Structures are given as C-alpha cells and as structure tokens.
Chain A
C-alpha cells in the first residue's frame, strides 16, 4: 500500500522577487564572479584576473585622506565639533541644510560657476542607483516607457525597470557618427515605442556618457530638450561623471542649456548626481536628485524616506565640501590624474593596434575590437570576451551588455587600480594582440 506523503506547499514569493529583471545573470556580472574567484594582486597573485569592469575612482584617495587628517571636525562628534548639533543624530527627509548647501556649491564648482543650484531643490538619496529608480517611480507608471540612448550602463535595466514595471526603449546610436544621439534616432525610438503601444514618459541620458566616456555636445543637448518639449515628456540627465571630465571646458550640463533658455521648459528636467564617481566614495551612498519641477521635488523628498543618507555621513561631507580650498584643489587634481590615466591607456592600446572612441571624461574608455571578431555578431563578441576573460585574464565589459547595436565594442575601466597594475594589464593586451597576429600569419 502506497502512503502518499503530502509535502507542505512552500510559501510563495512575489513576481518581483523571482524575476530576472535584476539582470545579474548577464556577462557584465558574470565577469565579476570570475574576478572574485581569482582576483589579481600585485604581490600575492600576479596571474589573477585584473578587474577592468568596475567604474570606480581610486586615483585621488590621498587627497581625501589628507583632508580628513587635517580636519578633525569632519569625523568628530561632540561638543568640540563645529556645526554639530544634537539634531544631527536625528533625521528628516529634508536632510542637513549645510550638506545640501555644500552639494549645491560643489555641483556649481564642477560646472565652472556657469549655473547656480538652489539647495532647496536638492533631494538626497542613498546613491544614484536609488535616485534613478526613484525618478522612474515618479515620472512613469508600470507599463510606460523611458527612452535611453544605447550603449548604456547595464545597471539601468535593473534600476529603471525592476520594481517600477517601466520599460526601456533604446535610442539606437552607432559608430558612424561616434555614437552621438540624433533627432532621427530619437524619433525612431519614440515611434518604436508607440508601435508597441507603450506610453513614453521621458528620456534618460547620461552625460558624460557611460560607457562611451565622452560628454554630449551642447547642440545635441538642445536637440534632445527640443524633442522632449515637442513630445511633452520628461528629461532626466544623469550627470554622475560631470566632475570626471579631463578638462573643464569639455562638459556642458543640461542646467546650462536651460539657463540659456531662461529656464523655459525647465519643469520637465531633472538632474541626477552622486559622489560615487567624482569623489570616489561609492561606499558612502550619496546621491541627489535636482529637479526644476516643484511637484517632483516634493514627491521625491517624501519618497526618499526609503533611501536616506546617514546623517553622520552628511555631517562629514558637509564639512569637507564646504571647504572651498579643498574642493577647488580636488576637482583640478582629480581631472589631471584621470586625464593622465586616460592618455596612458589610449597610448598603450594604440601600441597594441587597438583603437578607441575619442573620449574626454569618465573612468573608462570605449574600445573597438570589432576587427578581431570571428563573426560580426553578439555571439562573436561574447566568444572574444570569454577569451579575454579566461586567457588574458582581464575582466572588461562587452558592448552587448550595454545594448550596443554594433558588436565588438568593449568598455575598459582604468581608474580603479594602481598605475603599475594598469601597466600589467596593457602588457597582457599587447601580448595577446601579438599572439593573434602570429596566429593569423601562420594560417
């Protein structure tokens, strides 16, 4: 006699919990796993995987350390610390006024003083990841769409879509014009959304661009804003790399475009910023939304309850960013060092016979390996990526994970390592290219 043992039905999770929209199964993240299992170390593991897939800025840590050493009040807490108030231990979603003021000043400095930012329009979030998701919740309903130019930061698939239920419709850009956004591409994307019965609520651009590593020209910014006005939709400008341009004159913020138009049509524009890239402090979890729309500011502030910045962190950074001497020096020095790194990697790649897109900002370069592909397809790109990861032992990001419409492009980060490590990476690439030349000659 068979006795049926009834298994207790396991309690179910939600669709959000089990969905794959977090995107963490893509090659972008798989490469990180390979790195985690076998990380390069200058001394202890010289044959390990070098991480070139993480856009982190470690070139200016010493400047931060020097500041903290000389300014005890930033990390101190107590009667001696100037600006410390009992209320600093508490919190309301407006955030510390002194910190918002300091952020506004810092953002102004980065833009060479060409525009002013009102601290009361700054909403604080725990990182730009949260800021982008929050804006999406506010500007679009489930099932609506945002237009995003390709190639784009792989994290957007998760940040803009996962919990919000909003869709991304790509604005296709290609190498024929250095991946710049054109009015035709904008219109094509909009039509594509309409044909899928999707309501477009806004455009999200990253300026300077990730993964391209270049700033968007002001004429194009004007085109994009005109398009947004014409379609009566929002424009989100993620300017997280604005302080990482190699020269101050190269970057034009959407805020400047608005100022030139006397802030007409400003209520549809929202800027995202963070200290994770420019200041190299991703661990601190500091992001902001700057909106010219009062309703968005009010709502974002209330919604920021889910993602507030630690008041202790705000206090520390308020001290640091209010120090004009420090910020001026930091911005200038950081730019120079990034520029130097960029030159180093471009030259190194050139010597190995590899071309890159001309860049002027960011923590990475956009490398063209399309001549090396077995076949000009996504498959071909992934095969090449696999070889680079497992044989050359470099983790770089394949363009397909950034939704690039042309196969063969890769994003290579250069600021998250020492100069020595970068040299090792370039040597490996050089060796790899040499070997391929030999192989193709022998065929």
Chain B
C-alpha cells in the first residue's frame, strides 16, 4: 500500500533552546529608554545604537539560557558552569560566560549541596523514556492468567523464556557438581582465588565451541582471540573506549537497540550518528546511506571511527546478507574505520534465511581482519542474562591487549564460568537446546505475525530475534512521534500491553512498534490480540 508520506527529518542537530519569553524582558528595558531618547533628537543615533546593541545582546543571551529543567535548583545538583560534559551534548551553549551570567540572574551562588560530576547529573534529572516506563508498569502490575488476568502483558522485553524449562532442568540435575566438583572432589580453591580477568581458558574454549555451533559450524572461533566480560553491555562499552576517543563518533543504522545510547556514549563521550534505514527497503542497511552519513559527519567536523551493526538486528529482526557484509567491509576499508558486529542473537535465528557472521567474511580476507570486532553473549541464545557472560572477539592484537586489561572492571564470576563450562560441554544438551529453541521461536513468531496481520498490521519479515517489527502508522492520530507515543500510551494503559515504540529506537518513520514474543506462552497470543483490537477500534 502506498501512502503519501513525508519523511520526518530527525535531524541529528542538538535540540534548539526554547526561546519563549525571550523578548519580554528586553522590551521592558527598551520602552523606557525610548522615552528618554525621543525628546533629544540629536542624541537619537548616539542612544539608539547602544540600545539596539543592548537589545540584541539580551536577546542573544536569553536564547542561550539554560534548559528549563535546570531551573529546579533545589532538586538538581549544582553544576560547575564552566564544565562541559559529554553527556550534555543536547544543549547549545556559549562556553562559560553565558551560563554563569544567567545563573547569577536566577539565584545567587553559594556552596550548596556537594556536587556530582556533570557527566552524570543529566542522568539523575532525566525523565524516563517509554521503554523504561513500560517496564516499570509491567513490574507493578504483571499479567498472570490466573492471579492477575487484567495485568499488563509484557511485549517490551527482549528476553527469551520459551526454552527456559530446558535450562532449568539441566541446572537442577547438574549445577551443584558443575560449580564445585566438575567431576573432581569438592573444592573451593578452584573458583575462589583471582582468575584471569578476561575469563578462564577452559571457559573460552567452551564458549568458542558454542559460538561455532550456533552459527552452524560455518566458522570456527579461536579462544585466544576472546575477551570475556560481564555481559555484552560492557563488551560494547569496552570496544567503544578502545576504538574511539571522546568526541569521535560511530555510525549506527537506525532503528537500533535503545541500550546503545548508554553503552556507546555515556561514559566514553563518544557520539552516535544515525544512519536511517527505511521501510521502502525493509529497513535493510544501505551503503549509500552509510556514505551519506559519513560525509555529513565530516562536514560537522566529527571524526567517524567505526560502524556498529547488529546482526540479527534489534528491533527489526532482519539479517545482513553476505553481499552487504562484503560491501560494508569495503566501505570500512575505504574510510579506514572499524566494524563492530553485534551478533548476540546469532543462535536465535528462525526460519530459512542463512546467517552469516562477520567472522566468516574476514576469514577469507586476511588484510582487513584488524578492523573487525565481534560482540557476543549468552544472555539471548542461552536465556541466561543473569549470569553475565559477554564476549569480545577480535582479530586485532592491540585491541585484544587493551580489552583484556579493561575486562578487570567487568569480569565474569568464576563459579558461574565453571557451571557453564559443564553446560556448554554437554554437547547433547546444547544441540537439543539450539534446535528446540529455534522451533519454538519460529512457532511463536508465526502466530504473532498472523494475529497482527488479521488486524491489518503488517510487519517486516524477521529471521532472528525475539520480536516482530510492526507497522501501526495507519492507527496513529498524527503521523509524528507524538502520535506514535499517544498510541503507545493507549496500548499500555488501556490495552494493558507493553510494546516498544519505534522512537525509542530512533526510527526515522513514525508508527513502527516492536513486539517481543519470547516472554509469552501460546495461550497469551489471543489475549494480546484482543486487547490490541480494543485499543484500535475507536481510532478508525
């Protein structure tokens, strides 16, 4: 179906300050001055020019006044006015002078409460996004078929509970021995003392084997090129610290996983440049768009250090094909930048499409190995986010050396590693798990998509991940982020379903929503559909 659409330009420019009320005070100065000047014609020019200059100075200062949020002086922690923090990149400001000037106008400065760093004070004040608000609502009022049938159904969390029973059964039978014994006598001395921060070699071997298995043995992973971290979250952050300096940037195709904003930017001071993907291309990455964004960044004086792709992607759930990966490598080579390939969902592919890892692409192409770095983890594919196991896999010796040292701040726990060595070495269990999990994902996906389709909601074909990316733009009151968030709100508070609006993922087209299905049971699907239907009817 074709609709005349305008593509809302989500400019990566910093948000402009509100200018409301800017002229008011200035006029209060000018009007009385005019009274003085009028009666003395000879002094007109001599008076008007400085008045005009004064007027414009006031206007200019007011335009660059603090964000209205800052007015909450009593609640906010006082900031050093001359500190420029990486996290406040959305405020346009003149360095130093303006801030302190305007603050002096607002309230006199004294010692006040002890301050925290500028780089985090934004986080403390910041409002919660729909992503977090939705999670909160589910926590407060979770759906249960028997105990709470009117509770909120969770479709906003990319966790996989479909195959949890398999994991729980294995743990119930094997955990104790695995943590402490591993076939040997009960021993704490094996797990208690300091271990290499980047993971036990035995565990790396097990994880390398698992990665290979989930990728259908298309490529083998060398344990010596791995650094293990407490989840994929620090893996991404560590790579950001290693590959870019504060003020540099990564190109990231949108829509993307909302967590990247925190993982890539927060403590590093590195920027993300959005590379918009569009529904006309089924949200597939276009090298032309990458190139455009790269050039735009260059014009803005931003140094691009790399591209971050997610394959399978979140939230769309599509795979990057071999051709695109080769083109991406060519692009990276041409610009001399890095590629971070987030492949954390490689084992959660379903359907018939072939998954190709970046590792496979560089396996054959020797020269560019140094620019490719893969992120993996056990949170998604093995349903164990609580265990905190992430992987940095790189062919670059220098990155390996730096990442190893940095892993001390985010190391995996020894008893957990021992437990998982056993689990991952149980090849029968792993094989059964991967196959069964894929079947269950496929089944649930098909049902969800069919249910949505019946209501006229189309989604992008997905071959991986726990969600479907659906187009609800036909149901929003206005084709804008505002309209999208209104619908999200209705779905959450009236329909009692928590889904993720595309704006959280920086999608350039309004109206797209991510529906996670891996926290549902088959019985929940009709309930979900009914509730969505309830919300949609009135609008049409």
Contacts and interface: CB of A to CB of B under 8 A. Distances in A.
Given A199-B80, A232-B114, A310-B413, A91 B388 contact: yes
A61 B187 CA distance: 9
A78 interface: yes
A308 B180 contact: no
A89 B383 contact: yes
Contact of A283 (B167, B194, B241): B194
Interface stretch (A63-71, A239-247, A375-383): A63-71
B192 A280 contact: yes
A233 B179 contact: no
B386 A129 contact: no
A76 B245 CA distance: 45
A199 B81 CA distance: 13
A196 to B, nearest CB: 17
B120 interface: yes
B419 interface: yes
A146 to B, nearest CB: 12
A293 B168 CA distance: 39
Contacts of B398: 13, 17-18
B85 interface: yes
Given A17-B398, A309-B413, A282 B77 contact: no
A13 B188 contact: no
Given A78-B172, A201-B117, A311-B386, A58 B402 contact: no
A299 B121 CA distance: 9
Nearest to A280: B192
B437 to A, nearest CB: 15
Contacts of B406: 163
A302 B123 contact: yes
A434 interface: no
B244 to A, nearest CB: 5
Given A11-B370, A58-B189, A75-B175, A316 B399 contact: no
A1 to B, nearest CB: 26
B410 interface: yes
Contacts of A310: 230, 386-388, 412-413, 415-416
Interface in A313-327: 313, 316
A307 B267 contact: no
Interface stretch (A131-139, A173-181, A330-338, A351-359): A131-139
Contacts of A303: 120, 266-267
B168 A86 contact: yes
A281 interface: yes
A17 B241 contact: yes
A226 interface: no
Given A283-B191, A299-B116, A312 B413 contact: yes
Contacts of B227: none
Given A89-B384, A139-B117, A307-B234, A127 B187 contact: no
A130 B402 contact: no
Interface in B228-260: 230-231, 233-234, 237, 241-246, 248
Contacts of B187: 65
A72 B386 contact: no
Interface size class of A (residues with CB under 8 A): 35 or more
A93 B189 CA distance: 29
A137 B414 CA distance: 26
Interface string B105-131: 000000101111111110110000000
A232 B113 CA distance: 8
A346 interface: no
A323 B186 CA distance: 20
B117 A140 contact: yes
B114 A233 contact: yes
A16 B416 contact: no
B385 A90 contact: yes
Contacts of A298: 124
Given A9-B336, A56-B194, A90-B159, A78 B123 contact: no
B215 to A, nearest CB: 24
A64 B414 CA distance: 15
Contacts of A126: 230, 388, 409-411, 413
B192 A141 contact: no
Interface string A100-128: 00000000000000000000000000110
Contacts of A302: 123, 262
A65 B388 CA distance: 25
Given A8-B367, A141-B83, A284-B414, A68 B241 contact: no
Contacts of B115: 201
A165 to B, nearest CB: 8
Interface in B472-510: none
B409 A76 contact: no
A167 interface: no
Nearest to A163: B241
Contacts of B267: 137, 163, 303, 306
A79 B242 CA distance: 43
A285 interface: yes
Contacts of B333: 8
B337 interface: yes
A13 B194 contact: no
A316 B175 CA distance: 11
A22 B401 CA distance: 11
Contacts of B336: 9, 11
Contacts of B167: 89
B189 A14 contact: no
A234 interface: yes
B37 interface: no
Interface string B437-481: 000000000000000000000000000000000000000000000
Given A14-B244, A17-B399, A305-B262, A312 B405 contact: no
A307 B410 contact: yes
Contact of A16 (B117, B119, B123, B241): B241
A326 to B, nearest CB: 14
Q: Which of A283, A299, A312 counts the most B-chain CB atoms under 10 A from its CB?
A: A283
B282 interface: no
A174 B154 CA distance: 60
B241 A268 contact: no
B164 interface: yes
B13 interface: no
Contacts of B419: 312
B408 interface: yes
A269 B205 CA distance: 43
B195 interface: yes
B412 A295 contact: no
Contacts of A139: 116-117
B65 interface: no
A9 B173 CA distance: 54
A388 B233 CA distance: 43
A274 to B, nearest CB: 12
Interface in B330-388: 333, 336-338, 367, 370-371, 383-388
A282 B116 contact: no
A378 B195 CA distance: 32
B169 to A, nearest CB: 8
Given A267-B113, A299-B124, 13 more contacts: A13-B243, A14-B244, A14-B245, A14-B248, A15-B245, A58-B189, A281-B192, A282-B194, A284-B413, A285-B411, A285-B414, A305-B231, A310-B388
Closest 9 CB pairs of A and B: A78-B172, A311-B386, A283-B414, A91-B386, A77-B171, A17-B402, A77-B175, A310-B413, A310-B416
27 contacts: A11-B338, A13-B402, A14-B244, A16-B242, A16-B402, A61-B189, A65-B187, A75-B179, A126-B230, A126-B388, A137-B119, A138-B120, A141-B83, A268-B114, A281-B192, A282-B193, A283-B413, A283-B414, A284-B192, A285-B230, A295-B116, A295-B121, A296-B116, A303-B120, A308-B231, A311-B386, A312-B387
Interface of A: 8-18, 22, 24, 54, 56, 58, 61, 64-65, 68-69, 72, 75-80, 86, 88-91, 126-127, 129-130, 133, 137-142, 144, 159, 163, 199, 201, 232-234, 267-268, 280-286, 293, 295-296, 298-299, 302-303, 305-313, 316
